[in-house]
């Protein structure tokens, strides 16, 4: 089974995002709108993507009290978004509120541990001397499943452990994807598209591996080839 590629439109304005979508054209039909683009261009860019026949993953990683998250998630579902994120550390009640508000048309994904963190930096953030990222991802995945989430966001490095424990009950969205030879940038836990799929990923988020490539269309073709092989 292969995975669905989603390209992250991590741009400061809609113009640059639209240019990339037009460049990639039929190579990809699923885009991620994150906090940078949403802060500058809001619902308009989501509507433009929908009008262009693309699916939208709105990655705003909500983390607030259940009532606030539910209200935000209702607006997200009204915009026709297909996938949206909350932080699993917001707790089961918050995730349940998000799932209920998102309804049947929008899948809620719980972010477990950001792919930019490792054992040391996660321990520092949580004030704990010893912390194991994989254990924390597995623990948070359990909470996401209890809350009825569509799936979780984790790095390709923990994906195998999560998919062997939860199988199809939790879809896995894996960011931090790099083609062989790419720079890791600020990511701590990167994998290739093939490794992410082998580990059980359902969705792959392609950021700088495509958007910062000299030839984004050629980079996307390489990803698509890797996913087919």
Under the binding rule (CB under 6 A), the answer on residue 8 touching ligand C5P is: yes
Nearest to 32 by CA among 52, 11, 15, 51: 11
CB of 109 to ligand C5P, least distance (A): 9
| Residue closer to ligand C5P (CB basis): 6 or 70 | 6
Using CB under 6 A, which residues numbered 29 to 68 contact ligand C5P? 34, 59
d(CA 136, CA 101): 26
Residue 218, phi then psi, degrees to nearest 5: -65, -40
Site string for ligand C5P, 137-156 (x = CB under 6 A): ----------------x---
Q: Is 61 a catalytic residue?
A: yes
Tell me if 188 sits within 8 A of 121, measured CB to CB. Answer: yes
Tell me if 3 sits within 8 A of 201, measured CB to CB. Answer: yes
Query: How many Cβ atoms are within 10 Å of 156's Cβ, its own excluded?
Result: 27
For residue 203, what are the CA distances in angstroms to 91, 101, 129, 175? 23, 22, 33, 9
Under the binding rule (CB under 6 A), the answer on residue 175 touching ligand C5P is: yes
DSSP lists the bridge partners of residue 30 as: 55
CB of 215 to ligand C5P, least distance (A): 16
**Which tokens hold the place of 50?**
């929908």
DSSP lists the bridge partners of residue 31 as: 7, 56
Give the number of residues in contact with ligand C5P, rule: CB under 6 A.
17
| Residue closer to ligand C5P (CB basis): 98 or 153 | 153
Under the binding rule (CB under 6 A), the answer on residue 209 touching ligand C5P is: yes
| Residue closer to ligand C5P (CB basis): 15 or 185 | 185
3-state secondary structure (DSSP) of residue 137: helix
Residue 55, phi-psi category: left (phi > 0), alpha (psi -120 to 50), beta (remainder)? beta
DSSP lists the bridge partners of residue 57 as: 32, 83
Query: What are the start-end ranges of the H helices in 62-191?
Result: 66-78, 92-102, 119-126, 133-146, 156-166
Among the listed ranges 73-81, 124-132, 160-168, 171-179, the one in contact with ligand C5P (CB under 6 A) is 171-179
Site string for ligand C5P, 107-136 (x = CB under 6 A): ----x--xx---------------------
Among the listed ranges 65-73, 100-108, 159-167, 203-211, the one in contact with ligand C5P (CB under 6 A) is 203-211
**Chosen residue from 110, 205, 219, 220 binding ligand C5P by CB under 6 A:** 205
From the list 61, 93, 168, 171, the catalytic residue is 61
Which positions are annotated as active-site residues? 61
| Residue ranges in contact with ligand C5P by CB under 6 A | 8, 10, 34, 59, 111, 114-115, 153, 175-177, 185, 187, 205, 207-209
């Amino acid at each position: 089974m292969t995975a669905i590629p989603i390209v992250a439109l991590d741009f400061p304005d809609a113009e640059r995002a639209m240019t990339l979508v037009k460049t990639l054209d039929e190579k990809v039909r699923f885009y991620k709108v994150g906090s940078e683009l949403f802060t500058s261009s809001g619902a308009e860019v989501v509507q433009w993507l929908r009008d262009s026949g693309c699916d939208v993953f709105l990655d705003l990683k909500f983390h607030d009290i259940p009532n606030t998250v539910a209200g935000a998630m209702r607006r997200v579902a009204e915009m026709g978004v297909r996938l949206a994120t909350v932080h699993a550390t917001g707790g089961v009640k918050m995730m349940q509120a998000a799932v209920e508000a998102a309804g049947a048309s929008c899948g809620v994904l719980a972010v477990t541990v950001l792919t930019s963190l490792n054992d040391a930096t996660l321990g520092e953030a949580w004030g704990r001397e010893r912390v194991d990222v994989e254990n924390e991802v597995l623990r948070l995945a359990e909470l996401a499943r209890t809350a009825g989430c569509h799936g979780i966001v984790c790095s390709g490095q923990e994906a195998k452990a999560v998919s062997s424990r939860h199988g199809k009950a939790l879809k896995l969205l894996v960011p931090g994807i790099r083609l062989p030879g790419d720079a890791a940038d600020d990511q701590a836990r990167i994998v290739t598209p093939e490794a992410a799929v082998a580990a059980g990923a359902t969705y792959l988020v392609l950021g700088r591996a495509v958007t910062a490539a000299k030839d984004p269309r050629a980079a996307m073709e390489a990803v698509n080839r890797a996913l087919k092989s």
